[in-house]
Amino acid sequence: MIMDLCVCEILDKEEATKIRVYSIKKKFKKYVTVVEGIDKKNLDEAAKDLKHALACGGTAKDGQIVLQGDHKKKMKAILVKMGYSQDSIEVE
């Protein structure tokens, strides 16, 4: 059995631009957490993983992941566990 030796996905995560995480207040005084800076080809998979890890709803569109609720405090640890560099994550 030959194993695939491509590390392209790991390199993409390490070379990513700044990932910006912030919360905003939307309709009816509800908070949402926005994650910007994740590569568009990994956006849907990252959104699925974040929604599963945080047990919340959300969507991925226009280069952003929008999650229901204020999850800024947990986000950095989860993104690092997903393989993103701790230095590239900025939580506001």
Q: What is the pLDDT along the chain (92 residues), one digit of tens a residue?
A: 455 556 555 555 555 478 999 999 988 989 999 999 998 888 999 999 999 999 999 999 999 999 999 999 999 999 999 888 888 889 98
Q: What is the pLDDT of residue 16?
A: 46
- DSSP structure class, residue 54: H
Predicted structure pTM score: 0.78
* pLDDT at residue 42, rounded to an integer: 87
Which residue from 45, 23, 44 is spatially nearest to 34, judged by alpha carbons?
23
Chain-centroid distance, C-alpha 14: 14
Contacts of residue 91, defined as CB under 8 A and 6 or more positions apart, other chains included, come to 21, 22, 72, 75, 76
Task: Say whether 31 sits in a helix, a strand or coil.
Answer: strand
- Give pLDDT, residue 17: 75
Question: 38: helix, coil or strand?
Answer: coil
- Per-residue tokens: 82: 């997903």
Amino acid at 26: K
Give residue 2's pLDDT. 55
* Domains (range + CATH), the chain: 8-91 (3.30.780.10)
Cα–Cα distance between 3 and 1 in angstroms, integer? Answer: 6
